Amino acid sequence: MGSIELSGIEKWFGEAQVIKGIDLNIKAGEFIIFVGPSGCGKSTLLRMIGGLEETSRGKITLNGRDVTDEPPAKRGLSMVFQSYALYPHMSVKENMGFSLKTAGKSKDEIREKVIETAKVLRLEKLLDRHPKDLSGGQRQRVAIGRSIVRAPSAFLFDEPLSNLDAALRVEMRLEISKLHKSLKSTMIYVTHDQTEAMTLADRIVVLDDGKIIQVGTPRELYQNPANLFVAQFIGSPKMNIINSSDLSASAIDEICSVKQLEVIPQKLGIRPEHIKVNSKRQSAINGNIDVIEYLGADSFLFVDCANLGIITVRVDGSQEFKLGETINLEFMRENTHFFDSSGAVHVRSAAILRALALLAPTWLAILCFLVLYTVPPLLRDMAYKQVAKHRLLVWGKTDTCRMPKPAEKAYFLKSTPSAK
């Protein structure tokens, strides 16, 4: 197992900067997945870790050793490509043992490690076959096996399942998950597939335009996105985003209390599963069903809500609806997300200060109330954002600032005498 630390990593191609100051600490045995839109730099960053791309600035350390300028062969890492990269004229066992052969290992040692790895990947019966006689999933297992025999410090996967059909992807996803649990090795994985990211990762790194936008567990990113970009990128179908200016006063009051938020947020976000279809009570938000996607266990309703646009609703597959049917939508308050004009999570500093005042020692409680009632809301929110943004300097933490959990969010939003 190997811990990997990236410090101020930059990559330039001529005048174009594609990686812009990446700082990331990967623990030994951790499964990290890089996700982001095409061109965000995730594959380039992976290749830099592996030594296949030079690092323009910054430092890469592996188990505390600076490997920034070391060639790939000396880093002790192993990379698995989407194209398999198998030698067509070699058998499975020859492909798997090739790296050991070039390293000068004995035939007995090569045979022992190949057989041991073949058992892990269920390839024992395929050792004498050639790549042309294998399915896509079997070829990918051979490519992974070729990496395992080297006993690397960490595995680097560059979209390894993108060439497989849907059924094989599910099968190989399970295989990789089992492999990680059995080997307990550090794995860094690049993918466009959100299902792979959400099901495999210990932590997900969301990148955009060469920068890290947020790092967290799949649950943290899904439930508490740091900004509008992450909110819409993580989750399928993506989060519904509504401009607050398009909502009526009654709709805003139904979703949240303006007094509790202090300032009306620019945008509201709600995931499809957090919208209830209410047929009994009239709602401030309603619309006509434009499209129905039936998926068995679930159905997705695409509801035309006039000036609000199309809102996606996830319902139980057993419920039946008709095209053109008018339905009332009820947003779950505790699962509603708020964003300011810059796309950042809308900060409710007053609610946070009230919560601190209740939980903190007497002197800190008095300080919180002084700030609450003497500092203007705009300045409070700006200060809070800066503290959250620069938490590394303030608290010395290397992970992302934790966003409020649903229970905490519900507490912040619920009515209190001081919030009215």
Place of tokens 């938000």: 285
Query: In the prediction, which pLDDT does 382 show?
Result: 62
Question: Domain 236-339 adopts which CATH fold?
Answer: OB fold (Dihydrolipoamide Acetyltransferase, E2P) (2.40.50)
pTM of structure: 0.78
CATH architecture of 4-223: 3-Layer(aba) Sandwich (3.40)
335, burial (CB in 10 Å: exposed 0-12, middle 13-18, buried 19+):
middle
What are 396's two structure tokens?
A: 């010395």
Residues 88, 95: Cα–Cα separation, whole Å: 9
Query: In the prediction, which pLDDT does 162 show?
Result: 84
Contact criterion met (CB below 8 Å) for 4 and 26: yes
Cβ within 8 Å of residue 77, ≥6 positions away? 2, 49, 50, 51, 62, 152, 153, 154, 155, 156
Query: In the prediction, which pLDDT does 2 show?
Result: 83
Residue 337 exposure: Cα atoms within 13 Å on the Cβ side: 28
Domain edges within the chain = 4-223, 236-339, 349-402
Residues 151, 1: Cα–Cα separation, whole Å: 9
Task: Please give the helix or strand (H or E) that residue 395 lies within, else none.
Answer: helix 391-395
Does the CA dihedral 224-230-233-237 come out positive or negative?
positive
The secondary structure of residue 159, as a DSSP letter, is S
For helices 136-148 and 107-120, what crossing angle results, to 10°?
Answer: 130
Place of tokens 């068995």: 296
Query: In the prediction, which pLDDT does 84 show?
Result: 79
**Amino acid at the residue 317:** G
Whole-number Cα distances in Å, 154 to 104, 201, 359:
22, 15, 43
Residue 65 pairs in a beta bridge with: 62
How far from chain centre, in Å, is Cα 71?
A: 30
Q: Please list the rounded mean pLDDT of every run of 10 residues in the chain (420 residues).
A: 91 94 95 95 95 95 94 90 86 92 89 90 91 89 88 90 83 88 92 92 96 94 91 92 82 61 71 87 86 95 93 95 92 84 64 48 61 60 56 42 52 43
What are 161's two structure tokens?
A: 């399942």
Residues 400, 397: Cα–Cα separation, whole Å: 8
Query: In the prediction, which pLDDT does 316 show?
Result: 95
Query: In the prediction, which pLDDT does 197 show?
Result: 94
Residues 144, 214: Cα–Cα separation, whole Å: 29
**Furthest C-alpha separation in the chain:** 78
How far from chain centre, in Å, is Cα 135?
A: 30
Task: Say yes or no: do domains 4-223 and 236-339 share a fold.
Answer: no
* Alpha-carbon radius of gyration of the chain: 26
Residues 353, 320: Cα–Cα separation, whole Å: 46
How far from chain centre, in Å, is Cα 361?
A: 36
